[in-house]
Amino acid sequence: MLSDDKVSHLSHVILRAIKNSPLIQVKSEDGRILKEIKRVLAGELAQEQDIDRKVRTKLGSYSRGIVEGSPEWEVLYRKTFEEETRKHAKS
């Protein structure tokens, strides 16, 4: 999870990149754009947390206890996280 300060900093970095892009013409005020960037980031972070929770629940339900942090757990976590992410993208 990112702190509010990090989300704010990232939002400003994104806004600066947008404003410096020759492909984009900004027609709105910075405050409004920053608010929208932060809203989108918050939504993405919330979705990622939801997926993380689902993956951890799924891995915790396996009958043979897989130790969190072990190489096996890391591989299963990554694969399951990718599967859940694909499911969310289809919705």
pLDDT in tens, 46-82: 999 999 999 999 999 988 888 898 999 999 999 999 9
* Whole-number Å distance between alpha carbons of 48 and 44: 6
Quickly state the pLDDT bin for 89 (edges 50, 70, 90): confident
Looking at 1-91, list the stretches that DSSP marks H as alpha helix, in order from N- to C-terminal side: 4-20, 30-60, 71-90
* Whole-number Å distance between alpha carbons of 82 and 19: 33
From the list 56, 50, 59, 53, the residue with the least C-alpha distance to 88 is 50
Quickly state the pLDDT bin for 91 (edges 50, 70, 90): low
pLDDT at 14 over 70: yes
Q: What is the pLDDT of residue 66?
A: 86
Considering the entire predicted model, what is its pTM? Answer: 0.76
